[in-house]
Structure 1
């Protein structure tokens, strides 16, 4: 069962973060302050209530699946996970909550945009790390072939 739940939860989590990132960039570039407030509100509710369980399920099932595996790919995935979790809990979650509060109050000042930049950078980092974990997982399951590096003839 965890072999089916893990990939679904990881896809849901990655799509959540990707959609939060995309919506934020789009609304910041082209939207009004009201649109920004709406997006920030939707990211917090229902967004975080979808994302957080998806990340927890991904992590839990991933660690459970990793117990029976060894190798460079699994080691890489296990090293990335604490950073993804810490970045999410210590940076992305507080940023989302503060930005939602400030946007709903109409406080679009330097502090708002500074935190917005931090959130976008942290989101991009997590998307990159999560994509790397997905790639390694697909390689481990045989659903993706790793390109072999060409070596120069001796």
Structure 2
């Protein structure tokens, strides 16, 4: 059961961040200002899905590791502090700030600098979570082939 929780929570977190990132890029490049406002003000509501998903993935991963730190388990564990710090220190504050600025229709240079930082930090988290997914699948295949 915990393996299903871990995989489901990790996938939900990755997909949520990808949806945030893609909706931001697509709305900024191709949509009207009202769509950009809708996207930027909706993203903080998505944090109510993302934060518990990341916590569940991290907690279940810790439980599954059972104290092991070698091999792919260790590699995955080493990525998690960067993913968490990136989210807590950059992504969440940026999402809240950009939501506020968009709600006020304040699309100034500060908005776009923070938007660029958010996109960069989001891309980093997407990459790190995707690497954790890849390594988790490798670990699963290894267990299946030796079972």
Runs of 4+ in structure 1 deviating by more than 6 angstroms, as ranges, are: none
Q: Whose radius of gyration is greater, 1 or 2?
A: 1
Q: Does 1:126 align with 2:125?
A: yes
Residue aligning to 1:96: 95
Under a length normalisation based on structure 2, what TM-score does the superposition of the two structures give?
Answer: 0.93
**Conserved 8 A contact 2:68-2:74:** no
Under a length normalisation based on structure 1, what TM-score does the superposition of the two structures give?
Answer: 0.89
Encode CA deviations 1:40-61: one digit per residue, 9 max, x unaligned. Answer: 111111x111101000100100
Residue aligning to 1:11: 11
- Residue 23 of structure 1, CA deviation: 0.3
- Residue 33 of structure 1, CA deviation: 1.5
Residue aligning to 2:79: 80
Residue aligning to 1:37: 37
- Residue 29 of structure 1, CA deviation: 0.2
Encode CA deviations 1:59-88: one digit per residue, 9 max, x unaligned. Answer: 100111112545321111011000000001
Q: Residues of 2 paired with 1:112 and 1:135: CA distance?
A: 34
Unpaired runs of at least 5, structure 2: none
Encode CA deviations 1:16-52: one digit per residue, 9 max, x unaligned. Answer: 000000000000001122111100111111x111101
Encode CA deviations 1:93-138: one digit per residue, 9 max, x unaligned. Answer: 0000000000000000000000000000000000000000010011
Unpaired runs of at least 5, structure 1: 145-154
Greater per-residue helix proportion: 2
